[in-house]
């Protein structure tokens, strides 16, 4: 039996998106968007009817007909619309037919656009759209050094302009060599690393409670002076959390022997399993800010932050892999199968680290190497010795 349900890894510091308005004429792109939306919806209809999102089959069935009906649309764009449609159906798993609105976004790739310096050229109906991009200063370094992966062209009704969202990728994701650390995040501790660093969250949370109380009192008053004090207070609260987050993220990022920091991806279904109080805390902005600070500081040091979508990290034994709710008793972890004991958050952090190592080892085909680095990471179900858990049943 395999204990890990599924794992997804994102390297979010490898991709960056830049969104900027352009001077491209909407009158040139709107007709193309409209036609491409029709082509998209036709693909979806075909896909739902034939219960497949296979791009090759879609091409065989639809391409020639579409090409003759829409001769003005460049063939590479038809293909890119087909890819988008098939991926959209696949994401919905046939449960619902994805639809593109009349002037939905257009996806561009190497087949349909080119970038020379700041000059962007896009396939369109008739003559190609050309524009000089106004690259924001903060994006300059990425724009000059990273590779353009793809782009979406969007018409924003609000300002009536054509925007481009460009995705850049770095060729050198990792500059620093080093080990992997898992980081568990929770209510008692803002962060616990698998190498044993504990960062308490009690100060931020106590501070939040204090401000919440004062805020309610002042809001109830509602006088002009109360409003002024409310505003000043919210500034103080933000600065306090920011300060704590800066210190913690700096401490973690600078861990000398670590080059990869692994966090749980807390979005999606699995976050719902962790209780109301914890979810509220995980959704709070100081918490998100810590993650952003860590990414930023790690990146500056040539390190990376990775995410694993891993369930049961708090119930799983980091030594033998046994998953059982009763393994955890409050702040203590004690495996009912192998008797391993640890601090509960530390055990979770080790699980996060090992899930990442295991999944990258599978990708690189070197489970043996991972096994050498983390002798227990691959050891699912092999440890059979039973020891009594102190205080356990
Ligand atoms: Zn165990």
CA of 323 to the centre of ligand 1 (A): 8
Does 70 score more than 90 pLDDT?
yes
Cβ contact 22:177 at 8 Å: no
Cβ contact 199:255 at 8 Å: no
Q: Return the pLDDT at 388.
A: 41
Of 150, 145, 117, nearest to 131 by C-alpha is 117
CA of 369 to the centre of ligand 1 (A): 22
* Three-state SS at 336: coil
Task: Point out the least confidently predicted range of 232-236, 379-383, 387-391.
Answer: 379-383
Domain spans in the chain, listed from the N-terminal domain onward: 14-169
> Residue range 120-140: average pLDDT?
89
Give, as one character, the DSSP assignment of residue 125.
S
CA of 317 to the centre of ligand 1 (A): 5
* Three-state SS at 291: helix
Does 15 score more than 80 pLDDT?
no
Does 327 score more than 70 pLDDT?
yes
Does 135 score more than 80 pLDDT?
yes
Q: Return the pLDDT at 383.
A: 30
> Residue range 161-188: average pLDDT?
79
- Could you give the C-alpha distances from 230 to 71, 168, 210, 224, 240, in angstroms and in order? 62, 42, 13, 10, 15
CA of 376 to the centre of ligand 1 (A): 10
CA of 39 to the centre of ligand 1 (A): 54
Does 73 score more than 90 pLDDT?
yes
The backbone torsions φ and ψ at residue 193, rounded to the nearest 5 degrees and listed phi first, read -95, 155
Q: Return the pLDDT at 12.
A: 39
Give, as one character, the DSSP assignment of residue 196.
S
CA of 199 to the centre of ligand 1 (A): 25
Does 31 score more than 90 pLDDT?
yes
**Per-residue confidence at 384, pLDDT binned at 50, 70, 90?**
very low
CA of 2 to the centre of ligand 1 (A): 15
Q: Return the pLDDT at 351.
A: 92
Does 237 score more than 60 pLDDT?
yes
User: What residues pack around ion ligand 1 (CB closer than 5 A)?
Assistant: 317, 319-320, 322, 335, 337-338, 340
Task: Specify the pTM.
Answer: 0.51
């Amino acid at each position: 039996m395999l204990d890990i349900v599924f794992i997804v890894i994102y390297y979010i510091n490898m991709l960056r998106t830049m969104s900027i308005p352009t001077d491209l004429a909407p009158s040139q792109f709107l007709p193309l968007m409209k036609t491409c939306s029709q082509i998209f919806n036709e693909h979806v209809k075909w896909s739902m009817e034939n219960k497949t999102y296979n791009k090759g089959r879609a091409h065989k069935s639809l391409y020639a007909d579409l090409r003759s009906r829409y001769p003005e649309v460049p063939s590479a764009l038809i293909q890119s619309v087909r890819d988008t449609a098939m991926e959209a159906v696949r994401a919905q798993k046939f449960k619902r037919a994805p639809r593109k609105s009349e002037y939905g976004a257009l996806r561009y790739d190497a087949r349909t656009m080119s970038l020379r310096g700041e000059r962007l050229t896009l396939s369109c109906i008739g003559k190609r759209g050309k524009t000089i991009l106004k690259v924001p200063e903060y994006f300059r370094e990425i724009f000059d050094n990273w590779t353009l992966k793809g782009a979406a062209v969007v018409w924003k009704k609000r300002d009536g302009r054509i925007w481009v969202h460009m995705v850049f990728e770095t060729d050198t994701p990792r500059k620093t060599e080093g080990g992997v650390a898992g980081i568990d995040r929770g209510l008692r501790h803002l962060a616990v690393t698998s190498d044993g660093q504990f960062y308490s969250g009690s100060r931020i949370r106590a501070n939040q409670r204090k401000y919440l109380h004062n805020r309610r009192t002042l809001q109830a008053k509602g006088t002009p002076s109360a409003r002024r004090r409310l505003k000043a207070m919210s500034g103080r609260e933000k600065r306090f959390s920011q300060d704590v987050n800066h210190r913690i993220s700096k401490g973690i990022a600078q861990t000398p022997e670590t080059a990869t920091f692994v966090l749980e991806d807390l979005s999606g279904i699995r976050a719902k399993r962790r209780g109301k109080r914890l979810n509220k805390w995980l959704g709070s902005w100081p918490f998100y800010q810590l993650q952003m600070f860590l990414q930023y500081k790690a990146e500056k040091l040539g390190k990376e932050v990775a995410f694993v979508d891993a369930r049961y990290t708090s119930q799983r034994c980091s030594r033998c892999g046994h998953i059982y709710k009763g393994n955890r008793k409050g702040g203590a972890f004690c495996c009912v199968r192998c008797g391993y004991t640890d601090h509960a958050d530390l055990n979770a952090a080790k699980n996060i680290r090992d899930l990442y190592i295991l999944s990258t080892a599978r990708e690189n085909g070197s489970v043996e190497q991972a096994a050498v680095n983390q002798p227990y990471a691959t050891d699912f179900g092999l440890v059979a010795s039973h020891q009594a858990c102190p205080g356990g049943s």
